[in-house]
Structure 1
Amino acid sequence: MPLSSVQPAIDALVQAWCDHRTTDAAPFAPAIASAAQAYAVQQGVAERLAWFTPGAPPYWKTGGPSRQAVQTHARLPERGIWHSPASTDWPFAMRGIEAEIALRLAVPVDAALAAGLDRDSASQLVDAMTVAIEVVDSRWTQGGQAPDLLKLADLQSHGALVLGDWLPFDAEHDWATQRCRVEISGAPAQTFAGTHSLGDPAWVLAAWLRHATQGGQVLPAGSVVTTGTWCGVLQAKAGDTVVATFDGIGSARIAFSA
């Protein structure tokens, strides 16, 4: 897609990332009228900021509000992928908290393989899972109230990703009864059970793999995808420590020192 129509949005987001500030979304809404344009902005920003190491297994986020909705996707900057326990003084505009499960590919996947996948066959390509905390942030001043396509252009409001320890993936795991607990400093722990929006983190795999292998891309073994929140978006602040625990799977922790 020609970048001329989306170049102003790319420029604005690059500047916001570099200056650690937000920018008004309103002027860019008319130009970002399709998901294809939003994904072009994602790619343009990533290229300008040199986020990705050639050949390295990539990190992605994907998900949707229901199985009937179209999933959205974003490849994540390597600079914001941290192993738990993590501590950061990054000046986030927001510190939204999503407790998630991340999955890791065991084998390379190309477009030909991805084209025929469903939930069960895609699950066979995964070797490991872990607890993840996604920090939700925005380069738009409107934050979560920005237009959906502009949020998609801005990495679907991604800030950082904290990953716990990996353990073998069980394709038959009982996600309907899976319990998740989120603790944020100074607030009572919140518990959630069976609350993944698609009912199963592995449900996202087929659509994600088809998106990520477009244009001849091959996802190498070791590629990671985080699969959507179990707790909605909770709010943390500077000075808070956040712990997400999934019974029988593990936990992840992040401390916000600023």
Structure 2
Amino acid sequence: MNASSIQAVAQALLHARRSRSPAGAASLAGHLREARDAYAVQQLVREALAPGEAPVFWKSGGPSRSAVLTQAPLFAATTWPSPANAQGQHFNFTLIEAEIALRLGSDVTAAQAAELTHQDAAARVDAMAVAIEIVDSRWTEGVDAPPLLKLADLQSHGALVVGEWQRFEPRDWATQRCEVQIASTGAAEYRGTHPLGDPTWLLPSWLKHLTRDGATVKAGTAVTTGTWCGMLPARRGDRVSVTFDGIGETRVQL
């Protein structure tokens, strides 16, 4: 781990956030060599922008079960209940993801996380909610920036809007219907399109990441679990709504 290179990436991201102007990723592409470098940048940025704040919300996911899943802590200041108004929030880009958020019903220790399997992961969840992630980037290249630089930038996270929590119960995720409405582009329907097949599948990877230094994950900690609709373009002024049949609806005004 090269401390000076990690500091350089963190400072570029902090300057981009504070100046509201994205930074070029090309000159920094070789600064991060592995995922732990990107996670170290996440921590430095978080300590600078929200000192002492323990993350309650996280994002986790990946394009398939065979891929290495990525994790990012989210800021309380950009995690909002639905319906939300984001008109006063700065974004460099606005892409929309329709997601399901999951909430832990009990503490999870490092020892418990180490033994957690995909088969019993859902037993750790007490509630679920419809979520809208606004995808943004502090890199000029946006979502086309190098993967480790995207990971360092909270995996291109902008904001999260969370609907009403519902009691978690097993579902047939393969037939789960989702509808996304964006004012400027209309409505689109998706069914069974979660990239991991089941949003609970990522829980072992996520919890092992959170407990990698021996920490205990507290009950009430929540994770948003990846997009059902890819990344859909949206414009300033758009009203966006996401509905999952049998779970609920979430709305945000951009």
Q: Which amino acid aligns with 1:152?
A: L
2-structure distance, mates of 1:36, 1:90 = 30
Give the equivalent residue in structure 2 for 1:238: 236
Alpha carbons 2:184, 2:235 under 8 Å: kept: no
Q: Which stretch of structure 1 is more off in the superposition, 230-239 or 19-28? A: 19-28
Query: 2-side partners of 1:18 and 1:175: how far apart?
Result: 40
What are the Cα deviations for residues 42-69 of structure 1, in whole angstroms up to 9, with x where unaligned?
Answer: 1111011125524xx6210000111111
**In the TM superposition, what are the counterparts of 1:33-182 in structure 2 within 5 Å?**
33-50=33-50, 53-54=53-54, 58-88=56-86, 89-170=88-169, 172-182=170-180
Deviation at 1:3, TM superposition (A): 2.7
Q: Distance in 2 between matches of 1:221 and 1:119?
A: 19
Q: Using the alignment, how far apart are the partners of 2:37 and 2:73 within structure 1?
A: 15
Q: Is 2:247 aligned against 1:249?
A: yes
The residue matched to 1:189 in structure 2 has which SS? strand
Aligned amino acid, residue 31 of structure 1: H
Is this contact kept in 2: 1:137–1:157, CA < 8 A?
yes
Amino acid at match of 1:209: L
CA contact (8 A) 2:5 2:31 kept: yes
Cross-structure match for 2:3? 3
Structure 1 stretches lacking a partner, 5+ long: none
AA aligned to 1:107 is S
Contact (CA 8 Å) 1:51, 1:78: kept in 2 or not?
A: no
Deviation at 1:7, TM superposition (A): 0.5
Unaligned runs of 5+ in 2: none
Query: Equivalences for 1:161-240 in 2 at 5 Å?
Result: 161-170=160-169, 172-240=170-238
Report % sequence identity.
53
- Once the two structures are TM-superposed, the CA of residue 2 in structure 1 deviates from its matched residue by 5.9
Aligned-partner residue type, residue 47 of structure 1: E
Superposition CA RMSD, Å: 1.2
Task: Tell me the secondary structure at the aligned position of residue 215 of structure 1.
Answer: coil
User: 1:144, CA displacement in angstroms?
Assistant: 1.1
Q: How many residues are matched?
A: 253
Task: Report if aligned partners of 1:3, 1:40 keep a CA contact under 8 Å in 2.
Answer: no
Residue 162 of structure 1 and its aligned partner are, at CA, apart by 0.2
CA distance in 2, matches of 1:210, 1:166: 24
User: Distance in 1 between the 2:238 and 2:30 partners?
Assistant: 38
Give the counterpart letter for 1:14 in structure 2: L
Whether the aligned pair in 2 keeps the contact of 1:84 and 1:252 (CA below 8 Å) is yes
Q: Give the Cα separation in 1 of the matches to 2:195 and 2:106.
A: 27
The aligned amino acid for 1:110 is T
Distance, in Å, in 1 between the alignment partners of 2:93 and 2:221 is 27
Q: Is the 8 A contact 2:114 2:208 kept in 1?
A: yes
Measure the CA separation in 2 of the matches of 1:43 and 1:110.
Answer: 21
Distance in structure 1 (CA, Å) of the matches to 2:117 and 2:42: 26
In the alignment, is the contact (CA less than 8 A) between 2:110 and 2:208 conserved in 1?
Answer: yes
**Partner secondary structure for residue 46 of structure 1:** helix
Moved over 4 A (4+): none
Question: Residue 91 of structure 1: CA displacement?
Answer: 1.6
Which residue type is aligned with residue 157 of structure 1? S
| Secondary structure in structure 1 of the residue aligned to 2:11 | helix
The code of the aligned residue for 2:165 comes to W
User: Which amino acid is the alignment partner of residue 184 of structure 2?
Assistant: G
Shift of 1:109: 1.0
Q: Give the aligned partner of residue 22 of structure 1.
A: 22
| SS of corresponding position for 2:253 | strand
- TM normalised by structure 2 equals 0.97
AA paired with 2:75? P
